[in-house]
Structure 1
Amino acid sequence: MSAVAFERVTLGYGGRRVLADVSFSIPQGAFVGLLGANGAGKTTMLRAILGLVGPASGAISVLGRPPTRGNPTIGYMPQARRALPHPGISGIDFVLTAAGGHRWGWPVATAAEKEAAWKALEEVGAADLARRPLAELSGGERQRILIAQALIGDPKLLLLDEPLISLDAAHQRVIIDLVHEVAERLGIAVLFCSHEINPLMRAVDRVLYLGNGKAAIGSVDEVINGPVLSRLYGTPITVMRVAGRIFVMADDIELEGAAHVHDV
């Protein structure tokens, strides 16, 4: 059974078509980097997997079933919020909002919800952060809390939307290694959305690259090369490898050199 499968899927958002006749399959347990320029459809694809956006045509399968809203087998970490829900909310209370759906804090949380929240925090090594206010945590510490929230309910598929934004290189490595280790230990498939491949090189099994309404999936070498990316971008692309890093160039401009924002 595939973790995610798209069969000739066309997706649109806000009256604009972002993916056209796209097919691919992600096996269970795979760690996949979801890549593509701003507007390529990365976030729209995640929303479709979550059942929040329906395909205009084609079929989507998530762990053997059609996408549904609130699927407990999916853990989702949205792109980091610029503003916290409340400056004084603690890590444990924030994680509990996922355990109880809409609940906040200890007074209304059940024993089972508290147990699930602590288990998730322990999975990512963040139990010592649980009582501290989110506003006092560093970017990397806050990302651990967000990942813990996504692990509530023992999901089989983890969707991470740009978790590396605003982190320096050292903290990026920590978060990637953390997600990779947790996913391997728990047997979870990961779709890790990022604006560039280099931070993910050590972790990914394959990449899913979106561009110009199309998609390509395979190993890093199979996908991130001049011919494949030229087809996706619809313009000549040069891929350079220097000192173990990959640079995707169009007319001497590095396409992956700056962080992208949400597609939608």
Structure 2
Amino acid sequence: MDRTEAITPLSEPERTAGGSADPAPVISLRDAALAYGDRVLWRDLDLDIRPGEFLAVLGPNGSGKTSLLRVLLGRQQLTAGSLAVLGRAPRRGGRHIGYVPQQTSQPAQTMLRARDLVRLGLDGHRWGLPLARPAIRRRVDDILASVGATPYADVPVGRLSGGEQQRVRIAQALATEPRILLCDEPLLSLDPQHQRTVTSLVEQRRRSADTAVVFVTHEINPVLGLVDRVLYLARGGYRIGPPDDVMTSTTLSELYGTQVDVVRVRGRIVVAGAPDGAPAHGHADRPNGGRRS
């Protein structure tokens, strides 16, 4: 199959509550496409994400998962189509968008403390005079406490464990009281206990503030019970729908153009037979292989 050929997406179910009209989407993509030269990552993407929805984004390396987040952040332009984020064109440094980037190791000698990182999330996007210092400090302390990071608030970030660093990154993302939370592989290199901590913090924000979550991951099992829909990107095409509709042998075989077997083992999804670079669901302890796209 030519990789510029789009795969027709599955229809998206209407989301209604008690027959009332759906709230306006916080993210809306229409006929969206992203390509690097002749290489099409995805095209004809129609997607609405509404307040409080948890969307997991899956796909093999190079399928455009991280690039999708960059588009939503206003850091990258669509090749075609349109995008509205909170009712307007995306822009860098959006006030109500929280972003948890992929993990990067910090030098042990760095002097940037956990509270400094959160402070950047709180007012690093502002122009002009900073907010009053006592108010900022109280707000930073409150945010750190909300993610359980108070004990190491004044510790340099480079001296924190991977799980502790992820708590601080989530605290930074929550500092703006986001209406949208974008997470790029936040579970990589974390043991199951820290994975549960990170996902519970994200879920707590979603439920307490009706924040929409776009969660890029190579491993769906740690968030399977939280996900409303899956966006699965592969071979220039995609599928969207509830996990039970997308994570099936039939759907993934059509998407990859080859036989893929999906089985459930003790409540976990295991994918077998997908091409190299596809998510290895069911293997959460796979070592970190570097940045994904």
Q: Structure 1 length as normaliser, TM-score?
A: 0.89
Deviates more, 1:253-262 or 1:75-84: 253-262
Aligned match of 1:22: 45
Cα distance, 1:152 vs structure 2: 1.7
Change (3 A) 1:133 1:223: same
Cα distance, 1:15 vs structure 2: 6.1
Aligned with residue 215 of structure 1, among 238, 246, 263: 238
Residue identity matched to 2:262: V
Secondary structure at 2:194 match in 1: helix
- 1:121 equivalent in alignment to 2:144: yes
**Per-residue CA distance 1:57-94 (angstroms, 9 max, x = gap):** 11112122221111111101110112349623211012
**Per-residue CA distance 1:167-192 (angstroms, 9 max, x = gap):** 01121112111211122112211111
Aligned match of 2:60: 37
Distance 1:119 1:12 in 2: 42
Aligned match of 1:179: 202
Aligned with residue 196 of structure 1, among 215, 219, 224: 219
Deviates more, 1:135-144 or 1:163-172: 135-144
Deviates more, 1:81-90 or 1:137-146: 81-90
Deviates more, 1:254-263 or 1:90-99: 254-263
Change (3 A) 1:133 1:37: same
Q: How many positions carry a matched residue from both structures?
A: 261
Residue identity matched to 1:43: T
Which structure would you say has the larger Rg?
Answer: 2
Distance 1:158 1:95 in 2: 15
Distance 2:33 2:177 in 1: 30
Aligned match of 2:75: 52
Distance 1:262 1:13 in 2: 18
Aligned match of 1:157: 180
* C-alpha contact 2:25 2:50 (8 A) present in aligned 1: yes
**Which ranges of structure 2 fall in alignment gaps of 5 or more residues?**
1-23, 281-285
Aligned with residue 163 of structure 2, among 140, 143, 154: 140
Change (3 A) 1:79 1:13: farther
Deviates more, 1:14-23 or 1:139-148: 14-23
- 1:66 equivalent in alignment to 2:89: yes
- 1:81 equivalent in alignment to 2:81: no
* C-alpha contact 2:108 2:159 (8 A) present in aligned 1: no
* C-alpha contact 1:123 1:182 (8 A) present in aligned 2: no
Detail structure 1 runs of 4+ shifted over 6 Å in the superposition.
251-254
* C-alpha contact 1:124 1:148 (8 A) present in aligned 2: yes
Aligned match of 2:291: 262
Distance 1:86 1:4 in 2: 39
Aligned match of 1:249: 272
Secondary structure at 2:34 match in 1: strand
Distance 1:120 1:208 in 2: 30
**Which ranges of structure 1 fall in alignment gaps of 5 or more residues?**
none
Residue identity matched to 1:9: A
* C-alpha contact 1:38 1:261 (8 A) present in aligned 2: no
Query: More strand by proportion, 1 or 2?
Result: 1
Deviates more, 1:213-222 or 1:251-260: 251-260
- 1:233 equivalent in alignment to 2:262: no
- 1:130 equivalent in alignment to 2:127: no
**Per-residue CA distance 1:203-241 (angstroms, 9 max, x = gap):** 212221111122222211011111221222232211111
Distance 1:121 1:227 in 2: 44
Cα distance, 1:20 vs structure 2: 1.3
* C-alpha contact 2:30 2:47 (8 A) present in aligned 1: yes
Give aligned-pair identity as a percent.
41
* C-alpha contact 2:63 2:234 (8 A) present in aligned 1: yes
Deviates more, 1:17-26 or 1:244-253: 244-253
Distance 1:263 1:16 in 2: 17
Cα distance, 1:97 vs structure 2: 2.0
**Per-residue CA distance 1:90-138 (angstroms, 9 max, x = gap):** 11012112223279xxx99844433442332233222232122223322
